[in-house]
Chain A
């Protein structure tokens, strides 16, 4: 590999990779020189072990074609890796995720209420990589240098020809009035939201199965949060569990929005006809403060005491976009400036942003990410050949479980179009099936199974 200036690591980007930043400040030699491939051995030897490890190349088979590194093995990244290989088998595709296995968030509310088991949700990255002929690297991404096209991970760095960033979302506790990092951590540990890390789901299931009664607060965040229907669905599943356990419990569903955001009729009917004794729905409940010691949630109108809670704060794009130096910190979601049709970062046609960290306002969820990634994989394969593909809308297919034993669900399918006058995406045709029934319940599980098959198996 040519030892050019381009191979040098940009200090600016590297320092942004929080994990390494502390260690770097004690580094005695200029990083710029030290990290250059072929730098004098004596200099790199002086670096702390952790840094030396980072500056090694990650162990991977030699790339036999242009390398595409996909950062994030969620619904977008998994689909992307598969379809990149389908559209261009010559690509050397590497999928990176810090999780050792995949646990699905879609369909997890049905798991909370014991309608499917954990095996249904759990899948292996090894199976996925093997079925679809790409590499899976179980490691944590620490930073980027887009000038020399490198991704730094805790297993060493990788060079890329194309990089797809699909790192998903992070919670933004500051938007519910919790700014102090210690308070944020306490809130997360005591009342996790259940939309980012699968351990949160396991905690929530335990909470629902052991709750002794009293007030249980759930909330619906505002803005473009992940999975629009899920907080309402979760209220239904939580109520179904309490009903089955015959405990005296009241779910306060504090909606930071003025009204139910999606499938309004279906959810309203469920709240009243099935769970009238369990769910109190409170719209326009903007959370302004949470007192963890006193166990109270404050809105502009009232204070609510609780015995237990699931607090789902508003979300933002993953801070990995910041680390890559592409996040616009002035936007509420901290999104990147990307081409709305082709998904690449403006000014860098080798870096793409997809999935829930995308810049377009499409509904954040599994099906949207899957259908979008099938298209973007085609875009990247075409770009490598100097070609273009016709834009097509992602699809949002979204099931909501409402009742259990047997599982009953409702669904919506929607498409998007670009409004050239407003220069913004808007909903195209939308079809709602809000009469929840067992056909919907069967379809919801068949859908999830079909998506897992697509991402993990042949």
Chain B
């Protein structure tokens, strides 16, 4: 991956102000060329919990990271780092004393995005043609597809998470956190979650959990193990 990953940094310029002058926000755009080899080394820290395949867990405790858009991964790392997204356990892992600076974060998200995805992620309880599946499809198409895409492909440029291949339980837990205000998200996402009730959200997630992952993004079998760490 040669393309630079761009991140916007919002810096508050705090002058030594003695009067009540307004503090202006300064936005700096920085480009980083990720080094995937270095990212692999850094991922050695992450893989302790996320495992070398980064495939997540069907009980919702770990998400599938493999195949996720780099900008989405980066946003989560930065949100956890500055406390916007609350995660006690992840917090110390994403601090510079553990993982390094923006370059190292760029390296590691670029590495993760090269990993093939879990060919058997966990799906929701309602299969195709069930009433709930159909209902979820309608809800998804009306409220979610605009950003997350018709097939849950997300959008790297616009930092919309890919939903393809994500574990049902993980999405379900996150949506509950967003609904209850524990997890802070983009206002558009928050508005949708507020608008819908839990049953509707659960059905939409159920539908999203059945999106097919493109074959070229998937590992060849569930027994595939990341050779970088095995």
Contacts and interface: CB of A to CB of B under 8 A. Distances in A.
A435 B103 CA distance: 25
Contacts of A395: 61
Contacts of B47: 433
Interface in B88-107: 88-93, 95, 98
A447 B89 CA distance: 7
A431 interface: yes
Interface stretch (B16-24, B48-56, B136-144, B196-204): B48-56
Interface in A404-458: 411, 413, 431, 433, 437, 439-440, 442-443, 445-447, 449-451, 453-454, 457
Tell me the dominant secondary structure on chain B's binding face. Answer: helix
A393 interface: yes
Given A397-B48, A397-B49, A439-B41, A450 B61 contact: no
Interface residues of B, number: 21
Contacts of B92: 445-447, 449-450, 453
Contact of B98 (A399, A431, A437, A442): A442
A295 interface: no
Contacts of B224: none
Given A392-B59, A393-B59, A447 B48 contact: yes
A342 to B, nearest CB: 17
Contact of A431 (B42, B51, B61, B89): B51
Interface in B119-174: none
Contacts of B90: 450
Most chain B CB within 10 A, of A392, A399, A442, A457, is at: A442
A453 B42 CA distance: 23
Contacts of B93: 443, 446-447, 450
Contacts of A371: 61
Taking residues whose C-beta sits less than 8 angstroms from the other chain, chain A's interface range is 20 to 34
B88 A446 contact: no
A225 to B, nearest CB: 23
A229 B2 CA distance: 43
A437 B61 contact: no
Interface in A346-400: 371, 392-393, 395, 397, 399
Contact of A453 (B59, B61, B89): B89
A413 B41 CA distance: 19
A411 B52 CA distance: 12
Contact of B52 (A393, A431, A449, A450): A431
Nearest to A393: B59
Given A453-B92, A454-B88, A454-B89, A437 B44 contact: yes
B13 to A, nearest CB: 28
Contacts of A440: 44-45, 48
A397 B50 CA distance: 11
A440 B90 CA distance: 15
B19 to A, nearest CB: 34
Nearest to B225: A431
A413 B45 contact: no
Most chain B CB within 10 A, of A399, A433, A446, A447, is at: A446
Contacts of A393: 59
A439 B44 contact: yes
Nearest to B61: A395
Contacts of A437: 44
Contacts of A413: 48-49, 51
Contacts of A449: 91-92
A383 B218 CA distance: 41
A371 B88 CA distance: 13
Most chain A CB within 10 A, of B44, B92, B98, is at: B92
A446 B51 contact: no
A447 B46 CA distance: 10
A412 to B, nearest CB: 9
Interface of B: 41-42, 44-49, 51-52, 59, 61, 88-93, 95, 98, 229
Interface of A: 371, 392-393, 395, 397, 399, 411, 413, 431, 433, 437, 439-440, 442-443, 445-447, 449-451, 453-454, 457
7 closest cross-chain pairs (CB), A and B? A439-B44, A450-B89, A454-B88, A449-B92, A453-B88, A446-B92, A392-B59
12 contacts: A395-B61, A431-B52, A433-B47, A433-B229, A443-B93, A443-B98, A446-B45, A446-B93, A446-B98, A450-B91, A453-B92, A454-B88
Given A397-B49, A445-B92, 4 more contacts: A392-B59, A433-B229, A437-B44, A446-B98
